[in-house]
Each structure stands twice: as C-alpha cells, then as structure tokens.
Amino acid sequence: MISYLFTSESVSEGHPDKIADQISDGILDAYLTGDKHSHVACETFVTTNKVIIGGEVKTKKKIKPVEREAIIRKIIREIGYTKDEYFFNADTCEIEDLIHDQSPDIDQGVVKGGAGDQGMMFGYATSETPQFMPMPILFANSIVRRLAEIRKKEPSLMPYLRPDGKSQVTIEYSGKIPKRVHTIVVAVQHDPNVTQKKIQEDVIEHVVKKVIPHDYLDDKIKYYINPTGKFEIGGPHGDSGLTGRKIIVDTYGGKAPHGGGAFSGKDPTKVDRSGAYAARHLAKNIVAAEIAEECLIQIAYAIGVSQPISVYINTFGTGRVPDVFIADFIKKEIDLTPSGIIDRLKLRRPIYRKTATYGHFGRDDEDFTWEKLDLVKLFKKNLLK
C-alpha cells in the first residue's frame, strides 16, 4: 500500500467569509419563510464594522430594508461580535443594502421549471468514515465547531476565546485507508494577556482530544497552534469577508472536485446549490449500498433547461458494477430536474443558515435531507442483481 498525506482546512463561524455566508443564508431563510417560492441570490461583503448586502430577489412576501438590517444584526450578535474592541459590533456596524428585483430574463426560464443557472455540480462519498466523508475535512470541521461550543456553552474552559479561527488537519493514508492524524494546525483568535503555551495546552486538551477519536492520535502528531505567536486581531477587521469564498470548506475539503458555484444566499432553483445536494445524496447512497467504496458524481445543467445535460459517475475502480451502468440507471430512474430535486429533498424550507457553517455534508440533522440513506434499497435491488 502506498502511504501519503492529505490535508483539509475549515474555518469558524466567526471567520469573515463565514459571517458573509451566514448573513446571505439568513436573508434567504427570511424570504423562504414568507414565500417558499421566493427566488433569491444574496451576496454579502464584510469589513471593519461594515456590512454590504446585494443581489436579486423575486418574492410575494416583501421584506423591508429595516427588517433585513435586523436580521443581519441578529446573526452577527449570535456569532459573538458584540464588543467594540473587535472592531466589528452587531449593534454599531454600518449596513448598506443593495438588494433589488430579480432580472425577468432569468425568471422566465426558472418559472417553467428550468435550471436557474448553467454549470456543473459535484457530489462525493467515501466509505472511510461512518459519515461517508473524507476524514481530513470531517476532523477539521469538528475542531472549529468545538471551539465555538466552548466559547458559547463552556466559556470557563477557555475564557479568552474570540469568534475567529481556523483549523487544518493532515491525515496519513495507506492506500485508501486513513491510518493516523499526522498534523493539526489551529489558529485561535484570543484576548490579550494569555500565553501561547496556555492556548496550545487548552486546544489539545479541550478541543482535539474531545473531537478526534483516540485511535487516530499518537505521540508523533505535529501541532501548530497559533504558529505566528499571536492572533488578537481577527474577524472582519483583520480580513474582509465575502459570500462563497469557502466552497472547499463547504464541501469535501479538496478531496473531490468542485464546480465553482457557491451555495450560500441562493434559493434551490439555483442548481449550484440543489444540484450539488442531489449529487451528494446519490453518491452517499451508492456507497452506503456497497455498490462502491468511493463515488464521485458530476451533473451539468443549462440555464432554463430542466433536464441535466450530462451525468458522470466515477467509482475509482471500487465499483461492483461498471460506472456507466450506475449513470444510466440514475438518468432513467431518478428525477434530476430542478423541480424534482427540490421536491425530493424538500428544499423550499428556511433551513439554510445552519448549512453555512461547518460544512453542508456529513451532518446528522433531519433538515439535511440530502444526507438521508433512503435510496439504498433501490440501488441494491437494481444494481446488485
């Protein structure tokens, strides 16, 4: 077996790009709450004590700018930016609202059931973890999620934590099998007057050992905790943030391709989002049905056209039936039109803000319908004859 290293990164909910994603999805949820058929494409930019939102909306339930402002401040407050010393404060930040009506040129194709955009989307699954996700991104997400949990629910453990942060996990593989954690990198935003030694000890004890299974930890792991020596200035004051700039964090940590389209701020008629969810749903069920140990699916669409242009399957030599057989069965039996995906996965619900942090896949949440294993019997019955 060939040994190699693979690395993935994640970021906290207080990272500037993730603040932007959460605001965009929070605005989307508000429109879907009032009108489940709303068409929304909302982008967000954040910098030092300022938020700018823009994009296009078609809806029967109008939301006033003052109401959108209240949504934005609530999200920022819940993330944890409530102090002037962060230079980004939910109560004092300036908000510029540039939302306008959706172009009728786009809408005329969507209302007929066509895709809301052109492009290709990818879905992926692997048997290397119980969540059918690559181990590096799974562990990287777990680390930053745990940091937020400590900051909000167990602050006495690490009282100096601030909202921003990043993680990076390197896994050593033997062939396709993950053997051990090789390297962990964590950047923790913190208050002044705490030693880096204390931060490193706390991260290892209260974070790493709590979320990474003991079997993958050994005394040879390399740790880099705040390797620059200090991380006090962070959030939108330390770096600007933009919707859709963490699409690899959102998906598979680089272990699978990405079509390039972001998810956050887009209603499900935008196949950048719904197509990627559908592809993950199919790939996960194929691996769960033991048809393959690893599965990559690409689906491509043309704007205004309902049926996908192409469906591609790659099981990387692990499939028990030829890839083309799987693709042909999916094209014949699974409705991959935007309306079919939306109905099957129940995507016209205000569920999206919580998808905007810690990954859209591999999550144990009833609202994440694309994670359900409801096609396993169908695939086994028809593909493993």
| Sign of the dihedral defined by the CA atoms of residues 297, 303, 308, 312, in that order | negative
Q: What is the mean pLDDT of residues 127-140?
A: 98
Taking the whole predicted model, whether its pTM rises above 0.85 is answered as: yes
Query: How does 331-347 read in b/e, with b if 16+ C-beta sit within 10 Å?
Result: eeebebbbbbbbebbeb
Rounded distance, CA 294 to CA 276, Å?
17
- Mean pLDDT to the nearest integer, 358-367: 97
DSSP 8-state assignment for residue 229? S
At residue 117, the pLDDT reads: 79
Where on the phi/psi map is residue 241: left (φ > 0), alpha (ψ -120 to 50), or beta? beta
**Residue whose structure tokens are 């909910």:** 13
Which pair of structure tokens corresponds to residue 71?
A: 């949504």
Q: Mapped to the 3 state alphabet, what secondary structure does 105-140 carry? A: HHHHHHCCCCECCCEEEEEEEECCCCCCCCHHHHHH
Which structure tokens are listed for 54? Answer: 């823009």
Of 28 and 116, more confident: 28
Q: What is the pLDDT of residue 107?
A: 60
What is the four-CA torsion angle of 54, 33, 37, 95, rounded to 10 degrees? -10
Name 54's bridge partners.
43, 98
pLDDT one-digit tens code per residue, 193-205: 999 999 999 999 9
DSSP 26-75: HHHHHHHHH-TT-EEEEEEEEETTEEEEEEEEE-SS---HHHHHHHHHHH
**Is the model's pLDDT at 109 over the cut of 80?**
no
Q: Over pLDDT 90: what percentage of the chain? A: 93
Angle in degrees, 0-180, between the axes of helices 271-288 and 338-345, rounded to the nearest 10: 60
Give CA–CA dist 260/248, Å, rounded.
9
Strand 3-11 vs strand 161-174: parallel, antiparallel, or unpaired? antiparallel
pLDDT at 226: 97
Instruction: Quickly state the pLDDT bin for 304 (edges 50, 70, 90).
Output: confident
Between CA 379 and CA 288 the distance in angstroms is 10
Nearest to 336 by CA among 313, 311, 360: 311
Q: What is the DSSP string of 256-304?
A: S---S---TTB-TTSHHHHHHHHHHHHHHHHHHTTS-SEEEEEEEE-BT
Q: Is the pLDDT of residue 114 over 80?
A: no
> What is the structure's pLDDT at 150?
98
